[in-house]
Chain A
């Protein structure tokens, strides 16, 4: 794991409207502007109408502003933060299926997992599944240790990140589904205030 690779990645967090097609719009912007996505994760926040994305981009820090500005141009993107300049927590989760069909491999895996915050979540006579959570770098260290034992399958979620402290990244935007109520004759009308 070289530090150089880490230095040329940008961590972007975007709050977006939880609507059909938003992921497509964002992915399309990255493709069109020739930015290379290293990983992209998306999930709902505590507000069901807001999704949050963590996007790791293969680009130098000089592109951070460009990427943020182009994301902000998208109508469904509510807010964007570049996390590289502030203290933040990042986590990546991997499920790794390894060979487990002899004593030696079984012992090696148990030994490695003891030294890492990794758990063996499924064991069979031939293979086992390890779950490992950590920073991207930590995960990659772990994977390199396990690799000689024989990885047969692997999946990673991609990095999710959150800034530390009280600089809260959230939006006040409420989306009451009033367009439909409005259609029935109420005062409220969708996103019009």
Chain B
């Protein structure tokens, strides 16, 4: 059957199991929007208010479901507005396919109206990208795009489709079978020597620790990691994106690592004699100073991306492969182990940390972010999907909202994209309509993408927005307090009345300024089927502790003094 390019795009999306796409129309993508109208009912199009929102929504959808998220935009400014979302997805290995319109082929290179070299612009921030110059290439290009986005180390793929390719006709045959890309061969399993080497290191270790990353969930290796930890009695420290890889109430889980990680995790990493790094990439926010990082430890690193092995941290055993596959090879040969002294030592550090916990302080008259987040955790039974923005509230979410299930904390880790949280939460809700979704955002980041309130209303998306309003760009302010002698340049914020703003959009809302108001407001939000906004006005100059200053040694943490010590 002969189809137009625009219809081929839609047919390919159907073949790939796409039910929803997030986008914004414009001249060069109009033929495809005409096709979108014909496919309504099979693929739902969500009209965003800014293309950045579309890319974050596709990302949120992908993170929540593990499926490929799809966003669509027109040429030029439409496509460049996707850029932040693509870079965010690239850094956090989130599978999305972005479809962009392009000026007609004869106009390419002529600086035509709304022409941008989008494949050029997005080259370093996509896993791969395409400019389709012949409608007959369109179907297999779409198939390749989805394959590349979701396999190996997932990531964003962009397909740029000139307007005349969208209107040209060809016979539509969706390529069946596997994609044969000669240069694309993600590693899969380990060889015997690698497995034996890893087993030997595990066997010889007295103070081992598992560094559990995002890759565990992408590979679906939660059960294998848990088995490894339990059988060899290895404490588990989580990366920010690794939260959910193992239930946080598991006795072997010792908390998040890194710049704002649990002191117990960071101290354990520095004291360990073996790091088992699983699906993580030794980001600088995790390691601190590389020269002094985990000096006493031998290292095993398992990751699907070969180029991550020995990139930042030199390892004794590096295995490029799919984590679930590799652990399935390793587990049958792994014996029981126990490390009671080591685990007791970490328990002592944990106790010391809980003495310093802000929640154990008397804080009359002020509302703290930690209290708000911990109360939301309690009131949601710890079972919501939380989507954060970036900054203090993000780190406090990681500290005060323990996650039990995979893919229940969605957050921009690698790129640290302010403005991510709210649109990503909308995307997550489309992927997981049965789940309770909370967008936990700061007053700064929310204002970057708050236009998507209109999207949430138009689509009646049941997302609860918790704005943590401290009238500051809090994390930047924290750095200014610590490293720039409290010169608060460009961090105090004069904000709009968020509740009035919600009123204007037709979003039910509540203002919370005291701790005893939290419960009622959260219950109110949970009772309404549709978007709800709650503004929590919190202490202006709160600090996130512990903190490893950028580039400092991982054990060199700024800690909150114990009560009575300060």
Contacts and interface: CB of A to CB of B under 8 A. Distances in A.
Interface in A145-178: 171, 173, 175
Contacts of B178: 192-193
B436 interface: no
B119 A21 contact: yes
Given A66-B311, A179-B137, A182-B173, A192 B182 contact: no
B140 A189 contact: yes
A137 interface: no
Given A75-B183, A173-B182, A193-B178, A183 B170 contact: yes
Contacts of B134: 180
Interface stretch (B302-310, B374-382, B509-517): B302-310
B123 A24 contact: yes
Contacts of A24: 120, 123
A191 B183 contact: no
B157 to A, nearest CB: 9
Given A179-B140, A185-B173, A73 B181 contact: no
A2 interface: no
Contacts of B309: 69
B235 to A, nearest CB: 30
Contact of A192 (B123, B136, B148, B180): B180
B116 to A, nearest CB: 15
Interface in A63-87: 65-66, 69-70, 72-79
Nearest to A181: B136
A17 B171 contact: no
Contacts of B128: 75
B124 A191 contact: no
A192 B183 contact: no
Given A66-B307, A69-B307, A190 B171 contact: no
A74 B305 CA distance: 12
A191 B310 contact: no
A183 B181 contact: no
Contacts of A65: 310
A28 interface: yes
A190 B307 CA distance: 29
Nearest to B128: A75
Interface extent on B, as a size class? Answer: 20 to 34
B143 interface: yes
B119 A190 contact: no
Nearest to B172: A183
A183 B173 contact: yes
A192 B124 contact: no
Nearest to A191: B180
B237 to A, nearest CB: 26
B433 interface: no
Contacts of A193: 177-178, 180
B311 A192 contact: no
A190 B137 CA distance: 8
Q: What interface size band does chain A fall in?
A: 20 to 34
Contact of B171 (A69, A78, A79, A185): A185
A121 to B, nearest CB: 37
A184 interface: yes
A192 B306 contact: no
A52 to B, nearest CB: 13
A75 B177 CA distance: 19
Contacts of B139: 179, 189
B175 interface: yes
Contacts of A179: 136-137, 139-140
Nearest to A77: B183
Contacts of B136: 179-180, 182-183
A16 interface: yes
B179 A192 contact: yes
A106 interface: no
Nearest to A184: B171
A66 B310 contact: yes
B182 A78 contact: yes
Interface string B294-315: 0000000000011101110000
B176 A73 contact: no
B291 to A, nearest CB: 16
Nearest to B185: A72
A130 B68 CA distance: 58
Interface string A24-51: 1100100010000000000000000000
B224 interface: no
Nearest to B157: A75
B140 A190 contact: yes
Interface in B269-325: 305-307, 309-311
Contact of B183 (A21, A76, A182): A76
A192 B177 contact: yes
A148 B127 CA distance: 50
Nearest to A22: B183
Contacts of B144: 191
Given A17-B183, A179-B137, A190-B175, 12 more contacts: A25-B123, A72-B306, A173-B180, A180-B137, A185-B173, A189-B140, A191-B140, A191-B144, A191-B179, A192-B140, A193-B177, A193-B180
The 3 closest A-B pairs by CB, nearest first: A192-B175, A173-B182, A190-B140
Interface of B: 119-120, 123-124, 127-128, 131, 134, 136-137, 139-140, 143-144, 148, 170-171, 173, 175-184, 305-307, 309-311
17 contacts: A17-B182, A28-B123, A28-B124, A66-B307, A69-B306, A72-B307, A73-B306, A75-B128, A75-B181, A76-B183, A78-B183, A182-B136, A182-B173, A183-B170, A183-B173, A190-B137, A192-B176
